[in-house]
Chain A
Amino acid sequence: MSFAVRSATVRYADTLALDDVSVVVGPGSVVVVVGGDGAGKTTLLRTLVGEVVLESGTVDAPPAAQIGYLTATAGSWPALTVRQNMDFVGGIYGLSGEHLEQRREELLARAGLTAAGDRLASQLSGGMRRKLGFSMTMLHEPALLVLDEPTTGVDPVSRVDLWRLVSEAAAAGAAVLMSTTYLDEAERAGSLLVLDGGRALAQGTLDEVRAALVGTITEDSVPHRSAWSWRRGRRHHEYWAPGEQRPSSALAIAPDLEDVVVALSLVRRAAVGAGR
C-alpha cells in the first residue's frame, strides 16, 4: 500500500513552511525530495512521520512501529559502540535474543560495518556514522523509510554505499522517501519532488520534471541577460521563455536536472516578485 501526504500546508508562526505540497510513496520505490536549506524538505518528511501539525491537508502513513525515520542530525549515540547502538534501538522496537543478534549482524554486514562493530560511534567517519544510522532505522523492518539527508557531507564512495542500502530496502518492498541537496544523486530516484520556498516546483520522473520547464535553456561563451543566466564551468547557460528572441550564438541544449531546477527557481522567483 502507498503512503502519502496530500495538499499539505504547514505554518510555523509567520512562516509558510509548506504550501499545498503532495507526495505519494509506493512500496518498492524511492522518492527523493530535493531543495536547499529552507526549502521545506525536513518539514515534509516530519509531516509524513506525524511530527508536524498540518494547517490543512491529509497524511496517510503506517503506525509508528512500521516507520523508520533517520533525522538529519542524530542517528547514533557517540558513547556507545556500533553493536550497542543497534541493540539499544532493537530493544526499543521489542527485538531481543537471537532474532535481534541475527538482524543486527546481517545489517552490519550489508553496511560494511562488521569489523567496526565494537568501535565507539564517536570514532566512526561521517560516512560510516550515516550507514550506522541507516542500519538502526532498518532494524525493525519498517514498511516506510523516511531519511532526512542521509548523504549530506558524505564522501562519494560512502554515498554509493548508502544508495545501495537504500535500493536494497526498496527492492525488498519498503517505501522510501528521502531528501537530499545533491541533484546528481537525485537523478537516481524513480520519482522526484523539487521544493523551493515551501512549494513544489516540479515532481514526477526525471523526464516529467524536465517537461515541467516551459521554455529553452541555451549555452554560450557569454551571458546575454545576467538575471537569467548562470555559469557551468567556463560556459554560460541561460533560460529563455517560449517565443523569446535569442541571439544565434546561444545554442539550445538538453538540460540536466541542475539546469532545470535553476531555471524553474528563476521563473518562480520572478513570478513571486512580480506578484508583490
Chain B
Amino acid sequence: MSGDALLRATRASRAFGEVTAVDDVTMDVGAGEVVGLLGANGAGKTTLIRLLLGLIPVTGGDVELLGGPPDRERRSRLGYVPQGLGLYGDLTVAENLAFSAQAYAVAPPDLPVALQGSASVLVRDLSLGLQRQVAFLAALAHRPQVLVLDEPTSGVDPLARAALWDTIRDQADSGTGVLVTTHNMQEAAQCDRLLLMSRARLVAQGSESDIIGGTTAAAVRTDDWAAAFAALNAAGEPVMLSGRDVRVADSDPDHLRDVLSAAGIGAEVVAVPATIEERMMVLAREAPEATA
C-alpha cells in the first residue's frame, strides 16, 4: 500500500444491526490512478463509499480521506458524482453550475464545446449524456483531489461514454485519484486497478489480468447452440450464450464433452481465457456469507 493514499480503508467494517454490509475491507486509492469498484448489488460497494466519504461511521477498523478522518474540510476537497447525478432538473445548466460553484466558493466553470449552446437550457431537457457532462463539470469546478463516481456512464451512448472517460483520464493525469463503480465490464477494463466485492468482503483486487489470473472458461462451438445450451443448462452448468456459440465458466472441458455426447450433440469444446465477468461469477459463488 502506498504511503500517500488519498482514500484508504484499513480493516474497515460496518454493521447495521445483524447485517454486516462491509466486512474487514482494506483498500486504497492513490494520486493519479483510476480504481474500479465492482460487485453484485448488495455486495457493499455503496456502503464502502459512504464510509470513505464519512457519511456514516465505521463500526470496526478505520477509514481515511486525504490523510485523515473524513471531516467537512477534507470533504470539500472531494468531488462526487452520484448515480442520480445530484442536479436540479428545473434549473438551467448555468444555474446548476453557479449553485455548486457557490457552495464550494469558486468561480463557475467554462462550458465545453458540447454544452456551449445549452447554458440556458433546463437540465431536465438535456439528453442523459449531456446531463452527465454537466454533473462532471459541477463536481470538478473546485479542482478536487479525489473523485468518486457512481456508475458514471450508465445509459449513455458509446460516444458520450468515450467523452466522459476522456474527462476521467484527464483528471487522473493531473494527479486526481479516482474511484469508479461500474457494472460495465468494458469500463472496468479501462481502470488501472480493480477491487471486487462480494457479500460485504473484498474478494479480489489488482489489474484485470491479475484477477482473471490464468483461469479459463470453456467455449463450445456447435451448429446447434440451442441444443447445446439446453443440455448443459439441464446439467446445472453455468452456461452462457456467446454469439452463435455457448460458453461455460469454470468447468472441466472433458466433463462438458461427456454431457454433450450423452445428449447426442456434436460440438467442439476448447478452453479459452476467462473474461472478468466469468471470474466475478465464480468468485461471487465462492464467497462465504458475511457474519455480524
- B-binding residues in A (CB < 8 A): 28, 30, 35-39, 125-127, 152-160, 163-164, 166-168, 170-172, 181-184, 187-190, 196, 205-206, 230-234, 256, 258, 261-262, 265-266, 269
Contact with A along B140-155 (1 / 0, CB 8 A): 0000000000010011
A164-B240, A189-B243, A233-B191 known; A37 vs B166 contact (CB < 8 Å): no
Q: Does chain A have a CB within 8 A of B129?
A: yes
A125-B41, A156-B38 known; A234 vs B243 contact (CB < 8 Å): no
Find out whether the CB atom of A36 lies under 8 angstroms from the CB atom of B41. Answer: no
Please count the residue pairs between chain A and chain B whose beta carbons lie under 8 angstroms apart in the complex.
140
Find out whether the CB atom of B241 lies under 8 angstroms from the CB atom of A30. Answer: yes
| Residue numbers in B under 8 Å from A125 (CB-CB) | 41-42
Find out whether the CB atom of A158 lies under 8 angstroms from the CB atom of B40. Answer: yes
Give the CA-CA distance A36 to B129 in the complex, in Å: 8
| Residue numbers in B under 8 Å from A184 (CB-CB) | 184-186, 277
Q: List 20 A-B contacts (CB under 8 A).
A: A30-B241, A36-B156, A36-B159, A38-B128, A39-B157, A125-B42, A157-B280, A157-B281, A160-B277, A168-B230, A171-B230, A172-B226, A182-B184, A184-B277, A188-B240, A188-B243, A196-B157, A232-B189, A233-B190, A234-B169
Apart from A127-B41, A155-B40: 19 A-B pairs, beta carbons within 8 A: A36-B129, A36-B160, A37-B157, A39-B157, A155-B43, A156-B38, A164-B240, A167-B233, A167-B241, A171-B230, A172-B226, A181-B155, A182-B183, A184-B185, A232-B190, A233-B191, A262-B158, A262-B162, A269-B159
| Residue numbers in B under 8 Å from A160 (CB-CB) | 238, 240, 277, 281
Give the CA-CA distance A181 to B151 in the complex, in Å: 13
| Residue numbers in B under 8 Å from A171 (CB-CB) | 225-227, 229-230, 233
| Residue numbers in A under 8 Å from B229 (CB-CB) | 167-168, 171
A163-B241, A171-B226 known; A158 vs B41 contact (CB < 8 Å): yes
Most A CB contacts (10 A, CB to CB) among B39, B43, B226 go to B226
Q: Does chain A have a CB within 8 A of B291?
A: no
| Residue numbers in A under 8 Å from B280 (CB-CB) | 156-157
Find out whether the CB atom of A155 lies under 8 angstroms from the CB atom of B41. Answer: yes
A160-B277, A190-B243, A231-B190 known; A37 vs B156 contact (CB < 8 Å): yes
| Residue numbers in B under 8 Å from A163 (CB-CB) | 240-241
Interface residues of B in 29-49 (CB under 8 A from A): 38-43
Give the CA-CA distance A230 to B159 in the complex, in Å: 9
Smallest CB gap from B156: residue in A: A36
Find out whether the CB atom of B230 lies under 8 angstroms from the CB atom of A233. Answer: no
A125-B41, A155-B41 known; A164 vs B157 contact (CB < 8 Å): no
| Residue numbers in A under 8 Å from B243 (CB-CB) | 187-190, 205-206
| Residue numbers in A under 8 Å from B165 (CB-CB) | 230-232
The 8 Å CB contact of A28, one of B154, B169, B226, B233, is B226
Interface residues of B in 74-93 (CB under 8 A from A): none
